[in-house]
Structures are given as C-alpha cells and as structure tokens.
Amino acid sequence: MEGFKMMFSIVIPVYKCSSFILELNKRVVQAVTALSEDFEIIYINDASPENDWELIKILSEKDNRIKGINFSKNFGQHKAIIAGLQHTSGNWVVVMDGDLQDQPEEIANLYFKALEGYDIVLAKRAKRKDKFFKKWFSGLFYKVLGFFTNSKFDSSIGNFGIFNEKIISALLEFKGQVRTFRFIVGKVGFRKTAIEVKHNERPSGKSAYNYRKLFIMAFEIIISHSNKPLILTVILGFLISFISFVMGAIYLYKYFAGLILVSGYTSLILSIWFLSGVTIFSIGIVGIYIGKIFNELKNPPLFIIDSTIGNLKKEKF
C-alpha cells in the first residue's frame, strides 16, 4: 500500500554470492526480527553468473518479506545499491554486502547508536579481515580519492551502515552515471557517526573488486566529481612556462656574454620531447572530461531491470 512505512529495509547487492545467500538470509532475518518483525529484505542480483537469482526466488516464495531485483546485465555494485534504495519502504534502511564479511548481528548495534540522535551510522571495521595488499591498496585508493575530491575517507569504512529514510531521499537526488554509494554518503551531510564492528573473512571465493576495478572506479569518481586534474594541469603549464622563461633569460645572457660556443643538441631534443608529452597529456585530460560530458548528455539508463519478485514499493527518484 502506497504511503505505508515499515520499520526496516535491508538492501543487499549480490554477485557470485550463491554460496552465502541462504546463511546470510537466515542470519539477517534473525538479527532484524530481534528488533522488529516489520521489515523487508531487498536483494539486487547484479547479473551473477551463479544461481543467486534462483535462490532469491526460493527465499521470496517462503517469506513475502524477501524481495528481489534482477539486472539485465552486470552494472556494478553501487548501481545495484541505488536500485535497491529506490524501492525501500523502511523508516530505517540498512545497506550491507552479500558476502558475509559484513556481520548481520551488528545491525542492532548500528540501530541502537542511531537512536542516540544520528541520521547515519556507519560500520567501522575494527580489525579488517582482508589480505595485506588489499588493505594497503584500499588505503592508497582512498587517500588519492580524498586528495582529488577534497574529501576525507576512512578506508576501514565500507558500505555497511544504517540510514534514516530522509538520507535515502537525499542520496537519490544525486544524478549522473557515476554514483558511488560511499562517496555520496559523505556528501549529504546530516548528523553521522561510525562505530566499530566485527568484520569477517570472506568464507569462499574472491571479491569482485580487483585492483584494476578499484583503479577504474577511483578514476571515474575523480573525473566525475572533481576538476582538480584540470587545475593541476594549468599549474603544471604555468610552472613549465616559468621555468622556460627563467632558462631563456639565462641562455640569452650567456649568448650575449659569449659563453655559448656550441649549440646544445641534447637539451633541444629533451625539451621537445618533454613539452610534447606535457601537451599530449593536457589534451588527453581535457578530452576525458569532454567525453564524460558527452556520455552524460546521452543520459543512458543507470541500470536495466530484467525482472523483480515480491511486492516492491513503487520506484522513487
């Protein structure tokens, strides 16, 4: 019924999670039922090559509080989260991963902290159970991202958290093809905090996020949300011009002083190659921004839904 507000909506994107879904669902239901029986769980299948969707349909047939969205192809985790948020009905919305690294039992702790007057409570992984290089690369990823977007990120905080319904409305106001959940959560403001939670190792399989995908995601976020690369390019051009002016003045003095006897072939070639590289680099940066503008003007759908199950709330924007 339109306008009806339930207590909790749990949004879980899944991809290659068929080994975890049944246990995950059982634990989420137990954890949330301890708080209220008035809830829904929305699974978003990001076109997993495994039988994730079949398992979600089985769960939905047994419990009408289980709902699902099935993408036509793989659009990525963050777009899957957005799709789930568009159909939530709860006063409080929990977002978590589907690989059991986020512990469902921590939902209660997040909720109780929110009752202290917070609109957003994020889960801070006290002892992150990931491999050393993944944690190191994640830290580097957020430092670079923070530098270019003038934002602060804590690499121990992921997507897991609880959000008041007004936060969801604010998050859905963000437009554009690149909508990284963790990034836009940091942009909405409101009263927020983070608490330490337990973090588990992935029971089996590998994360869909490899180093290449993290790099691409960081690059897309930077280009979509920051003009700092353009500013840095302008600064670089200014510095090169200044250095060229100083060097020109020095060599002009040496020329009139008779100190230059043989013209420098090496310095000439190095200067040509260096300035050519800087020029091509600068044009490339501008070209990428123009390409992003072109893609946004085409306004393709953020995602395409193949099918749904359960009584999902009408999509909200």
**Per-residue pLDDT tens over the stretch 166-193:** 999 888 888 877 777 887 888 888 899 9
Q: What is the CATH number of the domain that holds 40?
A: 3.90.550.10
Burial of 233 per CB tally in 10 Å (0-12, 13-18, 19+) = middle
The verdict on 38 and 152 lying in the same domain is yes
Q: Is residue 316 part of a domain?
A: no
Give the residue numbers spanning the domain of 293: 228-298
The verdict on 144 and 258 lying in the same domain is no
The verdict on 166 and 245 lying in the same domain is no
pTM: 0.75
The verdict on 159 and 262 lying in the same domain is no
The verdict on 197 and 234 lying in the same domain is no
The verdict on 210 and 239 lying in the same domain is no
The verdict on 160 and 260 lying in the same domain is no
Q: DSSP secondary-structure letter at 105?
A: G
- DSSP line for 189-240: -SSEEEEEE-B---SSS--S--HHHHHHHHHHHHHHH--HHHHHHHHHHHHH
The verdict on 77 and 117 lying in the same domain is yes
Q: Which amino acid is at 161?
A: G
- Joined together, the tokens standing for residue 148 give 């270019």
Q: Is residue 284 part of a domain?
A: yes
Rounded CA separation 308/45 (Å): 10
Which residue stretches of the chain are H helix? 21-33, 52-62, 77-85, 107-114, 132-149, 165-171, 181-185, 211-225, 228-256, 265-298
Q: In terms of DSSP bridges, do strands 90-95 and 120-125 run parallel, antiparallel, or are they unpaired?
A: unpaired
Structural domain total, the chain: 2
The verdict on 105 and 52 lying in the same domain is yes
The pLDDT tens digits for 119-135 are 999 998 876 656 666 66
The verdict on 59 and 119 lying in the same domain is yes
| Cβ–Cβ < 8 Å for 145, 220 | no
Q: Is residue 317 part of a domain?
A: no
The verdict on 174 and 238 lying in the same domain is no
The verdict on 194 and 259 lying in the same domain is no
Q: Is residue 94 part of a domain?
A: yes
The pLDDT tens digits for 235-288 are 777 777 777 777 767 766 776 776 666 666 556 666 776 777 677 777 777 777
